[in-house]
Structure 1
């Protein structure tokens, strides 16, 4: 079995089977930070597998030698061959994998800029209709419906409506604001942009759909956990219940409600035990190793 076949088989497993196994696991909701790392590790691993498979498919007849140059060539890191001038296959062997990687990076930058532009426009509106509260460290929007959301990134801002201020108790309000601050402090917009970029490139892939959906929900769980450092589960759950009917957040923003509110509410009301240290260590190691596996599939043929 050559490297291209191994890489394509591995990519199929990561793209179709790994999401099903991860969705059936119970630990991601108990360790959302690790779960986000695993989902992103799988997307990076899939991208590298596809890029390296494209390299080997473009140059299937190369006779590699078992030295450093041969290993680098097999890994797709050089196009060195015995021919004095690069052939069309040589050029494709380096252009195709780079195109895959550059496409992913380009889509990530596009998603970041798209979100930044939407948030910038919304901030301009808030400057005209909102008022700054130094006490709350937030912008108050004169609106009767309860709403609270954050605008992360450049010039971050937490926004809360007057309706939410009237509806929530002081403890509930603090929980909501702490939840929104967590999105800003954790730069969650970048993690979400990465998942959205992967879904844009591989939109029909189960891994792309689930990575985007799960990343969004897990980031909200991470923010919930930070709010629990300040308030009790009962207070946070009450705040989530009151804000569940809030309107959807503006483009590029994070809101406490949303489609995952029901799952998160049950999670908050049910005490969560952190996964065992051994499990957390194993998952962290897997998240770090998974992106490297395609390189092994690509390089081992040259070493052997």
Structure 2
């Protein structure tokens, strides 16, 4: 067995199998949802890079892998040499294999964004037929008895409000719901969702993909709640969410203020705890750097002649 594959293999196991469960159970994620989304992104990036690096080392001949780090030292400016030896040490098929692994999630991400854009376009066409634009709310009002407020993000983003929501929500509650939806649009959360769904399609069944698929949308809703709370009272937003808890938006490209996560979010909003200790950011970025540097440093140590 090529022992050079062990560091990226260990990294892939840690990021793809072990760390996702720990992150999903962590208590701080509810206090810092945006940081949690970034943590899921770091895990996904580290896992993909580890798999690509491992595939490259598997395809690379053993004698080339063993001396690759030594040849790569020629690229350092202090040595005053060129990278021709390092380039010769890396087989073109090994690079092609690594590039293919990296290209798969990128291609799936682009496909997911295009698919979501087509769904939003069809939805927007239907809204133009039955809805009316309310300049005061800066939203499209749709005649429907079920209370719902949701947004269609993207380049031609719009917020949709049903007449049922306008009937049962007070002016302050409706404003809070609208701020929540504008937070989704401003944060371009649909891009994050597209990345999560693309990763799940490529690495279907992986704990990282499964848990990220359930946790990241919830974290994005919490992040939008936090942004709305900058301009409204907690009880106002909580009441608005409760009033729209039963709302169901069939278009998965849309972000609805209600939905199945409302109970968790209302409890969090009324909990009144802070956004987490600032040290969380420092610890996170230290861990992120470790995830990136550890497999590289360990691999270089193993393949030095």
Aligned-residue offset at 1:212:
1.5
1:80 aligned onto 2:88: yes
Find the counterpart in structure 2 of residue 200 from structure 1: 201
Deviation, 1:284, is: 3.3
Deviations along 1:181-209, one digit per CA (max 9) or x if unpaired, are: 00000000111111111111111100001
* Gap change, CA 1:71 and 1:9, over 3 Å in 2: farther
Write out aligned runs for 1:62-73 (5 A). 62-63=63-64, 64=67, 66-68=70-72
Are residues 129 and 176 of structure 1, via their aligned partners in 2, closer, same or farther at CA, if it must alter by over 3 Å?
A: same
- Paired residues in the alignment total 292
Q: CA deviation at 1:233?
A: 0.9
Q: Does 1:130 align with 2:134?
A: no
How far residue 269 of structure 1 moved from its aligned partner, in angstroms, is 1.1
Unaligned runs of 5+ in 1: 73-77
**TM-score, normalised via structure 2 length:** 0.90
Query: Does the residue aligned with 2:201 lie in a helix, a strand or coil?
Result: helix
Equivalence for 1:119: 120
CA contact (8 A) 1:115 1:252 kept: yes
Residues in 2 aligned to 1:134 and 1:120: alpha-carbon distance in whole angstroms:
21
Task: Spell out, residue by residue over 1:48-75, the C-alpha distance to the aligned partner (whole angstroms, 9 max, x if none).
Answer: 0000000001114133251336789xxx
Encode CA deviations 1:68-106: one digit per residue, 9 max, x unaligned. 36789xxxxx7523xxxx9xxx34311211111000100
The residue that corresponds to 1:75 in the other structure is none
Residue in 1 aligned with 2:58?
A: 57
| TM-score normalised per structure 1 | 0.90
Q: CA RMSD in A?
A: 2.0
Q: Deviations over 1:103-137 (max 9, x none)?
A: 01000101111111110111111111111111001
Q: Structure 2 unaligned runs (5+)? A: 77-85
Deviating above 3 A after TM superposition, structure 1's stretches of 4 or more consecutive aligned residues are 69-72, 291-304
What is the match of residue 94 of structure 2?
A: 93
